[in-house]
Amino acid sequence: MLKQLIEFGRQLFSLTRKTQQHEEDIKQIQQELKEVRAEVNLMRLELRDMSRIVERFAMELQKDREVAARDRENLVLRLELALTRADRSLPPADSND
């Protein structure tokens, strides 16, 4: 009976020690989880900011393409106008050739 009581005491002590260790492990894991969540939130903010920058660049690129297309169209129109003015100022072609 005494032997059983001693064995029961050892088991109780062992279980108490394991329970304390588990509680410490749980607290450590909870702290790590809190840190990971904070890092994830920070990454989300950074990703959101980067997405906004990419969107802004895409809009600027589209605007630059539109401006370049208008500039090309204007150049073509100016060239056509210059050619039309040049045709008007040329003397008529000789029919002797």
Q: How far apart are CA 26 and CA 24, in angstroms?
A: 5
Looking at every residue in the chain, the average pLDDT score rounds to 93
Q: For the residues of 30-79, what is the DSSP string, one character each?
A: HHHHHHHHHHHHHHHHHHHHHHHHHHHHHHHHHHHHHHHHHHHHHHHHHH
**Tell me: the pLDDT tens digits for 17-64?**
999 999 999 999 999 999 999 999 999 999 999 999 999 999 999 999
Mean pLDDT, range 82-89, rounded to an integer: 85
